Amino acid sequence: MKNKYPFVFVHGMFGWGSAVGLDKVSPYWGSTTGNLMKHLTDCGYECYSASTGPVSSAWDCACELYAQLTGTRVDYGAAHSKAHSHERYGRTYKKPLFEGFGETKIHLIGHSHGGQVIRLLAHLLTYGDEAEKAAAAENDLSDLFTGGKGHLISSVTSICAPNNGTTLYYLAEKANIIHPVARAIDFAMAVFGRTFIHGRLVDYQLEQYGLTPLRGEKKADKIITAMNRMRDTDDNVLTDLSFKGAYELNRKIEIAPDINYFCYTSNGSKGEKHKPQNIKFPFLKPLSSIIANKDLPSQQYGLTFDESWRENDGLVNTPSGRNPIDEPAKEFDGNIEPGIWNVMPVLIGDHGQAAGLFANKEKLHGFYGNLAEMLVSTEKDADFIRNIR
């Protein structure tokens, strides 16, 4: 293989990984262009597509991702589980995502909410979590929360991630539709999570809330009981998309000094009026217009909004996809330093194209081929890194 350190890809909201049946029908990574994981493997790169809760919080997803990497039971943490009134333990992975984690570094690549997930995982592996250390006895504490394992991560690459939130959540909150939308999502997943398609075609991974059954271990809670548990918590993906949720997440996460960080953001709007001319997915066109034309807040949780925040990819404001505002960053200049965000050139297109949805196959493969080449070059401490677009 060309890469010494495996690539681990993490999907975004409503997404899925290779372990989910739907991926065989419609791969998340590659989508309408074909299976990106297979393409990269055929090109000589070792890569894996992880599966985390499609509507779960970055914290819960990070815990699930760690359990997949290690082939262990999901431990959401004693303190976190108590604070959010859900079960501490989730499913058990009988074997790891790949053999050798812990003996080699990995590259983490996250699209959309997956970018927030991998940032949090890198933080927890590096620094651990003091609240979890205080809440559990030493022999009852997940290795994820002990820290001292940042050396297992070579790089973190976020692609179209809402690192600083999105105005879509702000506008939906002003319109008082956040809670109805959340309840509709909960209900749909509670219902379909009890049908034959769950575990075969889809996997919602909401056992901690009793919304889906823990396979082979216990039945799901009654639908209304489970939904009531979800109703009273902000431990979900929608919260992470808000300015407040992103702010709280950014306050928790600390950049690691020995990890290479890269962030890509995208822009599908064009011209002074930011028309959605480069938005290919029809569903995203009206959302892009809403972001571009509705009133912006003046300030929110340390963010100051100017006209550049009207640029967007249909879901995420282009400036939000850059580095978290409280972490050091520089425009990518070919020289890669660990412990600082390399802000990469803006991608032209919508939120889904970055993962392959309605994308140009040649351009998509070129982008991920160049990204893979760059990440591999950091393993060799190369002096020159080719600028990639």
Residues designated as active site = 112, 313, 351
Dihedral sign computed on CA atoms, order 200, 159, 112, 277: negative
Distances (CA, A) of 386 to 6, 333, 336, 363, 364: 21, 9, 11, 17, 17
Q: Tokens in use for 344?
A: 């990469």
CB 193: neighbour CB atoms within 10 A? 23
> Residue 61: which of 190, 242, 240 has the closest Cα?
240
Q: Which amino acid is at 109?
A: I
What is the C-alpha separation between 149 and 128, in angstroms, rounded? Answer: 9
Determine which helix (DSSP H) or strand (DSSP E) holds 245, and give its type and residue range: helix 243-252
CB-based burial, 240-269: b 16+ in 10 Å, e otherwise: bbbbbbbbebbebbebbeebbbbbbbbbbb
> In DSSP terms, which residues pair with 158 in a beta bridge?
110, 263
Q: Which amino acid is at 386?
A: R
Residues with Cβ within 8 Å of 88's Cβ and at least 6 positions away in sequence, in order, are 75, 76, 77, 78, 81, 208
> Residue 250: which of 317, 147, 165, 351 has the closest Cα?
165
3-state SS, one letter per residue, for 138-195 = HHHCCHHHCCCCHHHEEEEEEECCCCCCCHHHHHHHHCCCHHHHHHHHHHHHHHHCCC
Residues with Cβ within 8 Å of 36's Cβ and at least 6 positions away in sequence, in order, are 27, 29, 30, 355, 356, 364, 365, 368
